[in-house]
């Protein structure tokens, strides 16, 4: 099966929920061993992304470290909020070199750690967020939590800074809005990347990595071109070139679902930060960029989630179709078993009769050969006849075994007369036992068929057996079944007709004869005619009741004689 990327191989190769459970169990078993790695990642990302400061408050509208630690809370547990608390203290003292008082710095750390720990707990328990983001609902829940959490943290943080005197009321918007935007983007852009990486990084084959590397280079070129156009524009408020960034994001999401969107969004965000560093945009301009980046992020994640759901739906449809075909094959086989079980007595007689004759002929030949002047010619004739009787019985057993054993359809070119002869070999013993005549009248000019031989025999045998049962129930002494085949005057089809002079069809059942579980027999399964209809439909034909009157019941079915694809 072709594997086109992380989004396509992840859900196809593994169950997302099962994989997520195993990852969580593995991380939980190590508990705090992963804390230093997450803390280091937070500090490094905060150092790389820090750009501006306003009165001691880091107003950078891009907070990737928060996204990393929020992912750790979703994967391991809200207790990793303590790592975020330590990380905020380290960043404020070592990277930002904040001039804020110790109580304020501790308060900022407490607000961030407690706020996002509560948010992670709500995501896992109240909102049942699947952090693998397999569904569109999960994307909206994550974005909603990011917006709500960022707004709550920014609001409480602003109250703390105003109460401490670090900010005046008229300065709150200028200082806190970039933080609000940065926290949203940190969660929306970085958290999905971290989670998906943890889930799937060990299951990426070399071919997919090579394909992603090639595509990534192309996406990077488009992103670089768009950002170069933005940076070279003299009027900074004209951001029309920003919309060029939608092209690689949407294409990656369409090809690789949520993973493609996450990777290109991360690439775009990092490139955007690099451009801001090199050009020297102020915090206001960067906030404008990041606002558009939020729209781009939401678009990419939504497209990726929709594409992922479509891919899973297609896979589920194909798997359901395969299961349906398997169940149909099982139902066909059950119908064949039931069909032959009703003919067991007649078939046993048909087999025992030639075997008894062969035994008698063999004993006669044996006695002839023992006589001093034995008639060798007569003994040889007896042995030849015995062999023919044994071959006749063996042929019946072989056809029964093949008829019962077959499961999957095998399409081939078949001769119509041979198929009818083989099928009627199984039903003639029962007909003979009840004194019922079977007449086969096939036109000489019938072409060959491209069909499954055993399934076609099953159709013939079902219809013939139904006709035989109808005659037996009627008690007629002159029972007769006639099977005819002619070229249809409606397209390249052969039309077959199965006629009997039995009881006929109950008008109340005539309209639902071909529905499953519909039967007039006390020991019937109601699968015979439904199976016939399914087989013929799969072959491009159909079956119907042409006449249901007592004494002249007739079923008809058609089959195309042009070669058809055997994929079904």
Q: What is the distance between the alpha carbons of residues 154 and 148, in angstroms, rounded to a whole number?
A: 10
My answer on whether 310 and 347 are in the same domain is no
User: What are 260-312's pLDDT values in tens digits?
Assistant: 888 888 888 888 877 777 776 666 677 777 788 888 889 999 998 899 888 88
My answer on whether 380 and 480 are in the same domain is no
Helix/strand/coil (H, E, C) string of 28-44? HHHHHHHHHHHHHHHHH
My answer on whether 437 and 367 are in the same domain is no
Instruction: Tell me the Ramachandran region of residue 133: left when phi exceeds 0, alpha when psi lies from -120 to 50, beta otherwise.
Output: left
My answer on whether 245 and 349 are in the same domain is no
- The beta strands (E) that lie in 76-181 are given as none
Query: Tell me, what's the pLDDT at 86?
Result: 92
3-state secondary structure of 500: strand
| CATH code of 532's domain | 3.30.565.10
DSSP label at residue 15: -
Nearest by Cα to 45 from 260, 231, 222, 269: 269
User: What are 169-225's pLDDT values in tens digits?
Assistant: 887 777 778 778 888 888 988 898 888 877 776 555 555 566 667 777 888 888 888
Task: Report if residue 155 sits inside a domain.
Answer: yes
Task: Report if residue 336 sits inside a domain.
Answer: no
Task: Report if residue 255 sits inside a domain.
Answer: yes
Query: Tell me, what's the pLDDT at 54?
Result: 57
Task: Report if residue 330 sits inside a domain.
Answer: no
Q: CA geometry: angle at 267 spanning 265 and 269, to 5°? A: 70
My answer on whether 312 and 451 are in the same domain is no
- Phi/psi for 442 (5° steps) reads -105, 135
Q: Using 50, 70 and 90 to split pLDDT, how confident is the model at 243?
A: confident
Domain encompassing residue 399 = 342-405
Average pLDDT over every residue of 490-502:
87
β 411-414/449-452 pair status: antiparallel
Q: What is the distance between the alpha carbons of residues 501 and 554, in angstroms, rounded to a whole number?
A: 9
pTM above 0.85, yes or no: no
Helix/strand/coil (H, E, C) string of 246-260? HHHHHHHHHHHHHHH
Lowest-confidence region among 16-30, 74-88, 197-211: 16-30
Task: Report if residue 334 sits inside a domain.
Answer: no
Q: What is the distance between the alpha carbons of residues 566 and 349, in angstroms, rounded to a whole number?
A: 38
My answer on whether 194 and 140 are in the same domain is yes
My answer on whether 280 and 392 are in the same domain is no
Q: Tell me what percent of the residues of the chain surpass a pLDDT of 90.
A: 8
My answer on whether 524 and 385 are in the same domain is no
My answer on whether 120 and 268 are in the same domain is yes
Q: What is the distance between the alpha carbons of residues 500 and 551, in angstroms, rounded to a whole number?
A: 7
Q: Using 50, 70 and 90 to split pLDDT, how confident is the model at 51?
A: low
Last residue of a domain, one of 322, 350, 380: 322
Q: What is the distance between the alpha carbons of residues 306 and 298, in angstroms, rounded to a whole number?
A: 12
Last residue of a domain, one of 405, 429, 447: 405
Q: What is the distance between the alpha carbons of residues 426 and 420, in angstroms, rounded to a whole number?
A: 10
My answer on whether 241 and 368 are in the same domain is no
Average pLDDT over every residue of 473-484:
88
Last residue of a domain, one of 367, 386, 405: 405
Task: Report if residue 333 sits inside a domain.
Answer: no
My answer on whether 53 and 194 are in the same domain is yes
**Number of independent structural domains in the chain:** 3
228 CB-side CA count, 13 A? 6
Do the Cβ atoms of 252 and 261 come closer than 8 Å? yes
- Of 79 and 347, which is predicted with more confidence? 79
Task: Report if residue 449 sits inside a domain.
Answer: yes
My answer on whether 221 and 91 are in the same domain is yes
Write b or e for each residue in 369-392: b if 16 or more Cβ atoms lie within 10 A of its Cβ, otherwise e: eeeeeeeeeebeebbebbeebbeb
Task: Report if residue 206 sits inside a domain.
Answer: yes
């Amino acid at each position: 099966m072709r594997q086109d990327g992380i989004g396509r191989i992840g859900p196809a190769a593994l169950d997302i929920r099962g994989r997520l459970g195993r990852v969580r169990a593995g991380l939980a078993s190590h508990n705090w061993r992963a804390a230093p790695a997450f803390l280091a990642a937070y500090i490094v990302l905060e150092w790389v992304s820090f750009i501006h400061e306003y009165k001691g408050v880091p107003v950078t509208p891009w907070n990737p470290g928060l996204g990393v630690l929020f992912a750790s809370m979703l994967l391991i547990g809200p207790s990793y909020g303590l790592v975020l608390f330590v990380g905020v203290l380290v960043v404020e003292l070592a990277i930002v070199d904040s001039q804020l008082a110790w109580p304020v710095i501790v308060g900022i750390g407490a607000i961030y750690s407690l706020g996002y720990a509560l948010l992670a707990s709500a995501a896992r328990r109240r909102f049942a967020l699947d952090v693998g983001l397999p569904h569109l609902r999960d994307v909206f829940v994550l974005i909603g939590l990011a917006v709500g959490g960022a707004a709550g943290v920014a609001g409480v943080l602003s109250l703390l800074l105003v109460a401490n005197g670090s900010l005046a009321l008229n300065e709150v918007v200028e200082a806190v809005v970039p933080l609000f935007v940065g926290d949203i983007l940190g969660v929306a852009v970085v958290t999905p990347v971290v989670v998906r990486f943890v889930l799937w990084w060990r299951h990426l084959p070399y071919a997919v990595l090579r394909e992603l590397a090639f595509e990534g280079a192309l996406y990077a070129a488009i992103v670089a071109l768009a950002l170069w156009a933005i940076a070279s524009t003299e009027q900074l408020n004209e951001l029309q070139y920003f919309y060029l960034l939608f092209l690689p994001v949407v294409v990656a999401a369409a090809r690789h679902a949520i993973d493609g969107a996450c990777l290109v969004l991360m690439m775009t965000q990092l490139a955007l930060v690099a451009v801001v560093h090199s050009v020297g945009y102020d915090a206001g301009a960067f906030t404008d960029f990041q606002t558009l980046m939020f729209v781009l992020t939401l678009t990419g994640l939504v497209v990726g989630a929709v594409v992922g759901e479509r891919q899973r739906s297609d896979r589920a449809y194909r798997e359901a179709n395969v299961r349906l075909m398997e169940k149909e094959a099982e139902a066909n086989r059950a119908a064949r078993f039931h069909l032959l079980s009703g003919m067991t007595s007649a078939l046993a007689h048909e087999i025992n009769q030639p075997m008894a004759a062969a035994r008698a002929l063999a004993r006669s030949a044996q006695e002839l050969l023992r006589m001093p002047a034995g008639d060798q010619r007569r003994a040889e004739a007896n042995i030849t006849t015995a062999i023919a009787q044994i071959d006749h019985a063996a042929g019946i057993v072989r056809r029964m075994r093949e008829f019962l054993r077959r499961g999957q359809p095998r399409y081939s070119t078949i001769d119509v007369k041979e198929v009818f002869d083989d099928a009627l070999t199984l039903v003639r013993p029962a007909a003979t036992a009840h004194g019922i005549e079977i007449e086969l009248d096939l036109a000489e000019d019938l072409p060959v068929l491209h069909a499954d031989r055993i399934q076609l025999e099953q159709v013939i045998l079902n219809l013939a057996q139904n006709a035989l049962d109808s005659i037996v129930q009627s008690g007629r002494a002159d029972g007769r079944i006639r099977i005819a085949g002619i070229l249809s005057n409606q397209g390249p089809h052969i039309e077959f007709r199965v006629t009997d002079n039995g009881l006929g069809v109950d008008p109340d059942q005539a309209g639902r004869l071909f529905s499953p579980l519909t039967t007039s027999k006390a020991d019937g399964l109601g699968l015979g005619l439904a199976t016939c209809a399914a087989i013929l439909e799969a072959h491009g034909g159909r079956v119907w009741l042409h006449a249901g009157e007592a004494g002249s019941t007739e079923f008809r079915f058609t089959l195309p004689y042009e070669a058809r694809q055997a994929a079904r």
